[in-house]
Amino acid sequence: MKIYISADMEGVTGVTHSQEVIPGRSQYERFRRHLTADVNAGIEGAAQAGATEFLVNEAHDGMRNILLEDLDPRAEVIVGQRKPLSMMQGFDGADLVFCVGYHARADTEGVLSQEYG
């Protein structure tokens, strides 16, 4: 079974403010660790359920936030911004999709919903 994981950052464990997920801010490195741990938890849970392939698409600001040296070695990873399908690049062919660290839709009430406009 192939698992596809799209990993954003605003919704990972412990994030309560948008400043915590902005590169260069005081809490950013802490929450990179949380992002990586949450992705690894998804991989481990899926592996325990029988999954054998894991593709992780880094999907947060700049798309280079997961700590690659700490990412579960069973995973392949897509990083960087040059992706035609952006946050969903590589999902085709997956048996199951996990959206890890996602947040509420823009302009809605919810955890760290983003405002655009």
Summarize pLDDT for 68-115 with one digit per residue, the tens. 999 999 999 999 988 999 899 999 999 999 999 998 777 777 767 665
Segments making up each domain of the chain, as ranges: 2-100
Mean of the per-residue pLDDT values of the chain: 91
In this prediction, residue 79 carries a pLDDT of 93
CATH 3.40.50.300 for domain 2-100, yes or no, is: no
DSSP state of 62: G
In this prediction, residue 91 carries a pLDDT of 95
Q: What is the pTM of this model?
A: 0.90
Q: Which of 95, 70, 74, 92 is nearest to 83 (CA)?
A: 92
